[in-house]
Chain A
Amino acid sequence: MATITPVLTAYWDEADAYTYAGYTRHNGYQAARKALTTMQPDDVIQTVKDSGLRGRGGAGFPTGMKWGFIPQGDNKPHYFVVNADESEPGTCKDIPLMMANPHVLVEGVIIGSYAIRSNHAFIYIRGEVPHVLRRVQAAVAQAYANGELGKNIHGSGFDLEITVHAGAGAYICGEETALLDSLEGYRGQPRLRPPFPAVAGLYACPTVVNNVESVASVPSIIANGIEWFGKFGTEKSKGFTLYSLSGHVKNPGQIEAPLGITLRELLDLAGGMREGSTLKFWTPGGSSTPILTAAHLDVPLDYESIAEAGSMLGTKALQIFDQTTSVVRCVLRWTEFYKHESCGKCTPCREGTWWLQQIMERIEHGKGTEEDIEKLLDLCDNIMGRSFCALGDGATSPITSAIEYFRDEFIAGTHTPAWELFPYEASALFAGANA
C-alpha cells in the first residue's frame, strides 16, 4: 500500500487544531524559536535550499533559492508575502490548511521573514473565504498575544509584524506580481519581469512571494532537518505534499503523501471511482495543466515525471472525470473562466480567450464548423507564451490537450450537441427526485 504522510495534516481531526493551544500542544512554534535563537538567517536559507523544498503553488520553483535571491545589506525594507489567493479551478488544499492549522502558516512566515530579514509580512487571502480569514486573523492575534510575533521575539532581537489582507475576487491575483499590485491597492495586473519581486516587489522593495503550503512546510524542515525531509519524495521532488482528489471518485478529499505517488495509488486510497464508473480524463494540477487520461494512471506525480507526460504537476489538484463527462462541456466552462478572469492587460489573452469561448460554445451546441478545431489550435498557438503572465497559457492547455486525446468529441461537435452525446444529468452526483 502506498504511504500516507500526514505532517501538515497531522492533527486536523482535533477539535481545537486551529488554536494556539492546539498547535503548541504538539510542539508548535518550536521551529521558529529554534531558527530565531540558534540559527543565522543565512543558515535558515541554506537549510531550506538544501532540503530541496519546491514551491507548492504550481511552478515548483525551489523555495530556498527564492529566498536567496533577496539582496542583503541594501538598506531597503524587505517584505515576505504569502500567496493565499487559492483560486485555480480544482485547487482546494490551502483553504483547508489555513482553516485547520493557520498557526503552521504563521510559524512558517516567522521563519521565512527572519531568513530574508523582513520585519513586515503580509498574508494575502482571497476574499471569498470568510471563515479562513477568521482563522488566520485569530491565529495572528494569538501569536502576538503569546510573544511569537511583535518586537524582539523571544529575546532574539528580531521584530516581525504580520498584516492579514483580504482580496476582492480576482483569480489573476494569484499571479505573484498581480498580487503585489493588488496589495498596493491597484487593479491586480501582472507586471513585466524583470525586475523580479526579489529585486523590486512590494513598494519596489525586495520581496518574497510564497504559496501557503510551501511556507507551511518550512517549520517541519527546520525542526526535523533536511535528511528527514529527504526521506520523502523523489530525488528531484523531495518531501510530502497535499494531493486533492475531486470529482467522480468514491471518497474525494485531501491525501498528504510523498511526491511521486501515482494517481492509481491515490484512487485506490480514495476508494476508487464512484459506482459503475471508469476514469476518462483528469487534471494533475488544476485547470491550467493539460489533461491526462487513464493511460497516465501510473505516472509518478512529481514535477519531472508529469512534465515528461506532457503536463504539469501544478497544484496537485486531481480533478477526476468519468465516462459520463463531455470533455467539450468541461473545457468550455474552463474557457469561460479564463475569459472572465483575463485581466485585460495583454491583447492575445484578452481577445484570444473571447474567441476561444465562442468557438467552444459552438462546438458544445453541435454547431461547430469543419475549420473550428484547426482554428482553436491556431488561436492557442497565438496566445501561448505571448502575454505577461501564464493566464493565457493556462487557457490554452485544456483545449490543446483535450483535442489531442478526444478529437472525436470536437468533431462530433460539428453536428451533435454535447448534451446529447453525454446527457448532463448522468454526470451529476444526484439523480431522480433530488435532481
Chain B
Amino acid sequence: MTKILKSREILLALAILALIALISTRFPGFVAPANLANVFNDTSPLIILAIGQMVVILTKCIDLSVAATLALCGMVAAMLNGMGVPLPVILLAAVVLGAGLGAVNGWLVWKVDIPPIVVTLGTMTIYRGIIFLMTDGKWINAHQMSAGFKDLPRAFVLGLPVMSWIAIAVIIAAALLLNRTALGRSFYAVGGNPHAAVYTGINVGRTQFVAFVFSGALAGLTGYLWVARYAVAYVDIAGGFELDVVAACVIGGIAIAGGAGTIAGAVLGALFLGVIKNALPVVGISPFWQLAISGSAIILAVAFNARQGRAKGRIILKSAEHRA
C-alpha cells in the first residue's frame, strides 16, 4: 500500500481527480463524461508533444523548438492542402518534415556538439522565421482549407474524435518503444549515466539524435492536427507552447537531468495542465488571476515532485561523519 502511494504517477492521478472534484463544486457540468472527453481531446496535442519532449529530456537534452516545428509543419500542411495534395500525403509530409527539422537539431547536438538548449533556442526562431519567409506573414484561413482537411481531427470514431485516438495510439506506441525495445532502453541509459552507456556500446550522440528526430516527427504530426482543428495557420500559432510542453514533462516527474521518467507521468502531467486550462474559463475566476494560478499550480506540482524524488544522502565514510 505505501509503495503504491509513493508512486509519483498514482499521486499525480489522485491530484488530477481532486482538482476535477474541486472544479465540479463550482461548475458541475465539468465532470460530465462528454466534457471530460472534450478535455482529453483538447489536451491531445499537449500529450503528443510531451511524449516527444520526454524522450528528448530522458537523453539529458531539451527541445525548445517543438512549438516552432509544429507551426512550420502545420503551415506546410495547410499550403499543401491549398495545392490540392491528398490528405494521406499531407500527413506523411508533415511527419517527415517534422522529423527532418528534429534531425537538424539532433545533428547540431550530435556532430557540432552545441548544447541542446542553445541549438533549439536558435532553431525555434529560425523555424518561425522560415514560416514568415514562406508566407510573407499572411494567414491561411478556414475557407482556404478543404473540408476533408479540417474534418479529420473532428471525425468521431467509437465515441471519440480522431485526434484523441491519435493521442492514444501515440501513447501506446511510445510506451512499447520505451519499455520493450533496445532503443527505448538506451534513451534511459544515455541520460542516466552517459559514461556507463558508452561502455555498454551505446552511441550517446546518435541516441540523442534519434530522440530529437522522434520529438520532431511528433511535433510535425501535431502541426497538422493543430492547424486542422483551429482552422487557421499563421506565423505565431502555438506561440509559447514549448513552455507548456516542458512544464507538462516536469509536472509528470520527468527528471530534467535525464534518465528518469515514465510515459504515464508525461501523459498525466499534460492532463494536469489540460484540466487547469479547460477549467479556468468555466469556473469564473478573474482573468487577472488565471496566469498566477496556472503558474502556482506548476510550481506546487514540481516542488512536490522534487521532495518525492530527492535521493537520500548516503554516508560512505562512517568514521569521518562526526569528525567534520
The answer to whether A and B interact is: no
**A residues bordering B, Cβ < 8 Å?**
none
CB within 8 Å of A: which residues of B? Answer: none
